[in-house]
Amino acid sequence: MNVIKGFATTFKHLLEEPVTIQYPEQVQKFQERYKGRHHLRRYENGLEKCIGCSLCAAACPADAIWVEAAENTDEERYSPGERYAKTYEINMLRCIFCGYCEDACPTQAIQLGHEHQLSFTDRRDSIYTKDMLIDPPLEGKEGTPREVEPGVYTRSIPEMEDPN
């Protein structure tokens, strides 16, 4: 009896239209909540949002994130706070794409995008560095480091305004 039910299921699916997507010419739409490749964001004036607090690394259950902070100076300012992330690395082989790093960030510096093409031929290629993660500066804006007037950026807040 079970054999007949199995054959019935097989024949039912043989008559259905296949749902094959011709990748890479056709790309499947992902849900809005899909969590893909990480991005380090910038403010509109070019400064980095990451203040080197390492809360993302503390929240990561897979221990995939490593942050080394350094002090900002008035001559070289990378972020609006006292510190910035001198080194920011994510080991994508360890990452489970849970989004806890995104939730823990007080400045919304780290965000998970929708990119899904993450393949590596070498283990060293799976470690994404700050240069690979940071967004390029907006067109017409300069990137970091940036010289600023002393005392202009004395605190880090998510809703930072451009003083210019």
How many angstroms separate the CA atoms of 110 and 125, rounded?
20
How many angstroms separate the CA atoms of 14 and 58, rounded?
50
Please, what is the end-to-end C-alpha distance for the chain in angstroms? 79
pLDDT at 156: 46
In the chain, pLDDT over 90 holds for what percent of residues?
47
Instruction: Of 50-59, 117-126, 131-140, give the range with the top mean pLDDT.
Output: 50-59
pLDDT at 162: 52
Fold annotation for 34-133: Alpha-Beta Plaits (3.30.70)
pLDDT digits (tens, 9 = 90+) for 49-76: 999 999 999 999 999 999 999 998 888 8
pLDDT at 157: 46
DSSP-H helix ranges across 39-154: 55-59, 100-104, 130-133
User: What residues contact residue 148 under an 8 Å CB cut-off, 6+ apart?
Assistant: 74, 77
pLDDT at 104: 96
Q: Where are the domains of the chain?
A: 34-133
